[in-house]
Amino acid sequence: MTSTSATASIPPVLAEVVRSGFVEGHHRGSLVVLAEDGTIEFTAGNVTGPVFPRSSNKPMQAAALLRAGLDLSGERLALAAASHSGEPFHLDLVRKMLAGYGLSETQLLTPPDLPLDPAEAEAYLAGGQVRDRVTMNCSGKHTAMLAACALNGWDTAGYLDPGHPLQQLVLSEVEAASGEQVHAVGTDGCGAPLMAISLVGLARAFRSYVLAEPGTPQRRVADAMREHPEYVAGTRRPDTWLMREVPGTLSKMGAEAVQAVALADGRALAFKIDDGSARAMGPVLARGLELLGVDAGAPVVARIAEAPLLGGGERVGEVRAAF
């Protein structure tokens, strides 16, 4: 028998899986929407408990690099905040940055990996190449972290230690941007320290970046990401589409189905799909954008929402938002 308290802790359904007209599954999660003035306008689930934002923390990590004195701008700053797809232009710029700072690929502590984009991974393997540290989607961030350490005379071998001066700067930036104390520190998939905050804190952080004064580290990061979104994600990724097609929008996904978005006027959202399923992210994000006031008929919203289910090679259903 399920207790009332246990039932209350179960996240609500944010997306449902519909095959041949039959609902065969659900994706639960939590989501918060902030109004233009920063007040909470809509919530589903637990939005005040801590979560690991995963790569949605990257704008804050990039701002910490600027605070450390690293002079980055344009595509290079966007790549420092990226979960890149591993397209040739991503890998070329990572290698140029490493060379420009006098760094070696062997100094990267990213785990060897294939390109994040499936099409790029297929082409990469077809070319006879193997998993590589540069190819891992966080290699831009790690390159910039190494460069900041070299600039300041900090230990480059231990740059991923949570007690390292650089990572302490990151922690301070996450707390300042979110308005919360970090609830826990873990290890991200790339090996970097990972700071837990609430979904409300994450949405407020993104809001603060788009509203920051020009020239500040936060605004420099937001501007670089919005001006060069293909370097933040890739040519076939929703973050890129959204920042390209809705002017002034800042968007960054994270692993385990986390997403944060802020519009130019300060409206913002953050969500996490509880089971970490990426297939639910598009439909939930599209519905969240509608709650933010983005035109539901906009082509980019329909494109992001598209999550078909196949049967025999034909479309027989979809994953769709359920809130």
Whether 6 has a pLDDT exceeding 80, the answer reads: no
- Residues 220, 290: Cα–Cα separation, whole Å: 27
At residue 88, the pLDDT reads 98
- The chain-wide mean pLDDT, for the chain, equals 96
Give me the DSSP letters along 48-117: SSEE--GGGGHHHHHHHHHHTT----HHHHHHHT------HHHHHHHHHHHHHTT--GGG--SPPB--SS
At residue 198, the pLDDT reads 98
Question: Is the distance from CB of 84 to CB of 58 less than 8 angstroms?
Answer: no
At residue 9, the pLDDT reads 83
Run of H or E including 18: strand 13-19
Whether 3 has a pLDDT exceeding 50, the answer reads: no
Whether 1 has a pLDDT exceeding 70, the answer reads: no
Write out pLDDT tens, residues 189-223: 999 999 999 999 999 999 999 999 999 999 999 99
Q: What is the strand order of the sheet 193-198 is part of?
A: 50-51, 193-198, 184-187
Cβ neighbours of 252 (radius 10 Å): 30
Q: Which of 186, 247, 225 lies closest to 63 in space, CA to CA?
A: 225
Q: Quick one: average pLDDT of 279-300?
A: 97
Write out pLDDT tens, residues 53-78: 999 999 999 999 999 999 999 999 99
Q: Quick one: average pLDDT of 78-94?
A: 98
186 pLDDT band, cuts 50/70/90, is: very high
Whether 143 has a pLDDT exceeding 60, the answer reads: yes
Write out pLDDT tens, residues 215-246: 999 999 999 999 999 999 999 999 999 999 99
Whether 116 has a pLDDT exceeding 90, the answer reads: yes
